[in-house]
């Protein structure tokens, strides 16, 4: 449907990974430190919501690109069909360069940095210590559901429905982003206290040290050792509770 001029299709797909590699240090060493310096709160829920909106924007980009490929292509809404060829069997395409597809691919990759990284952090920091692996696995289960939905609707990914195949999920993405922030906006402040509270982190560190001491002594820890650990433990200043 798009003019390649000899460019392999898989080259454009690589812009997703390249955008992640390029923008990860920009976010970690540029944007986030700048926001903290300016005292601008950009919590995990806000980051995920922004990433979801970016992903939906990428869907809008695919929709617009496919709409004009249908409109300007010689085969109309059947531009990707096997019948859209000339007398020599060469595919008939529109005059739109395939390099335009690199833009939504790149936006989609950057959106993953805003969505996946905070999601992993929330799943780890807010889960009980003995359930962090399980909660992280449940978080990854969402990817499995996404692939399952993709396979279920694979029969619809064909001409002449491609424009709506991109546009429909984009609309759902914007609506879902708004609902996500409305439902979980309170976790933004709660997760911030858990991760930024130095006393809480110190307590976790001392709990880990005590656990290693127990393992090193084959589970035989005297009552005095336990009492010394309890005396060193620093109480959490934040009065919020996290229920799982």
Range of the domain at 229: 197-244
Cis previous bond, 68, omega within 30? no
Domain co-membership, 172 together with 207: no
pLDDT value for 123: 80
DSSP label at residue 38: T
3-state secondary structure of 128: coil
* Dist CA 155 CA 62 (whole Å): 19
Domain co-membership, 132 together with 205: no
Residue 239 clears pLDDT 50, i.e. is over it: no
Give the end of a domain, one of 188, 206, 225. Answer: 188
Place 135 in a pLDDT band, splitting at 50, 70 and 90: confident
Domain co-membership, 58 together with 151: yes
Backbone angles phi, psi at 128, to 5 degrees: -60, 155
Residue 242 clears pLDDT 70, i.e. is over it: no
Domain co-membership, 165 together with 221: no
102: number of CA atoms within 13 Å, CB side? 15
pLDDT value for 171: 96
Domain co-membership, 241 together with 139: no
Tell me the pTM.
Answer: 0.75
Residue 191 and residue 44 in contact, taking contact as beta carbons nearer than 8 Å: yes
More confident residue, 217 or 141: 141
Query: What's the maximum distance between 2 C-alpha atoms anywhere in the chain?
Result: 89
In a domain, residue 57? The reply is yes
Q: What is the CATH number of the domain that holds 21?
A: 1.20.1250.20
In a domain, residue 210? The reply is yes
In a domain, residue 2? The reply is no
Residue 25 clears pLDDT 60, i.e. is over it: yes
Could you tell me the CA-to-CA distances from 22 to 10, 99, 107, 113 in Å, in that order? Answer: 19, 18, 12, 11
Query: What residues does 91 pair with on adjacent strands?
Result: 85
Domain co-membership, 124 together with 234: no
Domain co-membership, 145 together with 88: yes
pLDDT value for 193: 56
Domain co-membership, 211 together with 104: no
Domain co-membership, 179 together with 83: yes
Q: How many domains does the chain have?
A: 2
Residue 60 clears pLDDT 50, i.e. is over it: yes
Domain co-membership, 52 together with 128: yes
> What is the residue-averaged pLDDT of the chain?
82
More confident residue, 194 or 36: 36
Residue 17 clears pLDDT 50, i.e. is over it: yes
Give the end of a domain, one of 188, 211, 235. Answer: 188
Residue 80 clears pLDDT 90, i.e. is over it: no
- Read off the pLDDT of each residue in 201-223 and give the average, rounded to a whole number: 68
Lowest mean pLDDT among 54-68, 209-223, 225-239: 225-239
pLDDT value for 113: 94
Domain co-membership, 31 together with 59: yes
Domain co-membership, 118 together with 22: yes
In a domain, residue 231? The reply is yes
- Read off the pLDDT of each residue in 98-117 and give the average, rounded to a whole number: 94
In a domain, residue 64? The reply is yes
Please list, in sequence order, all residues whose beta carbon lies within 8 angstroms of the beta carbon of residue 191, skipping any fewer than 6 positions away.
Answer: 43, 44, 45, 121, 122, 125, 126
Place 214 in a pLDDT band, splitting at 50, 70 and 90: confident
Residue 160 and residue 17 in contact, taking contact as beta carbons nearer than 8 Å: no
């Amino acid at each position: 449907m798009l003019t390649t001029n000899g460019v392999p299709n898989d080259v454009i797909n690589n812009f997703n990974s390249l955008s992640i590699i390029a923008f990860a240090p920009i976010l970690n060493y540029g944007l986030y430190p700048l926001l903290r310096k300016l005292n601008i709160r950009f919590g995990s829920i806000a980051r995920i919501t922004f990433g979801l909106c970016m992903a939906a924007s990428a869907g809008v980009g695919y929709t617009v690109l496919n709409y004009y490929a249908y409109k300007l292509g010689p085969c109309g809404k059947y531009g990707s069909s096997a019948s859209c060829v000339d007398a020599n069997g060469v595919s008939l395409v529109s005059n739109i360069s395939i390099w335009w597809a690199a833009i939504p691919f790149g936006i989609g990759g950057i959106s993953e940095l805003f969505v996946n990284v905070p999601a992993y952090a929330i799943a780890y920091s807010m889960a009980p210590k003995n359930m962090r692996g399980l909660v992280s696995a449940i978080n990854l289960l969402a990817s499995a559901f996404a692939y399952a939905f993709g396979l279920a609707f694979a029969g619809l990914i064909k001409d002449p429905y491609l424009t709506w195949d991109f546009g429909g999920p984009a609309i759902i993405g914007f609506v879902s982003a708004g609902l996500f922030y409305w439902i979980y906006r309170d976790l933004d402040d709660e997760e911030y206290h858990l991760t930024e509270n130095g006393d809480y982190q110190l307590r976790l560190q001392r709990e880990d040290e005590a656990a290693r001491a127990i393992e090193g002594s084959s589970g035989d820890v005297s009552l005095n050792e336990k009492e010394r650990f309890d005396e060193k433990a620093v109480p959490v200043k934040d009065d919020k509770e996290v229920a799982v």
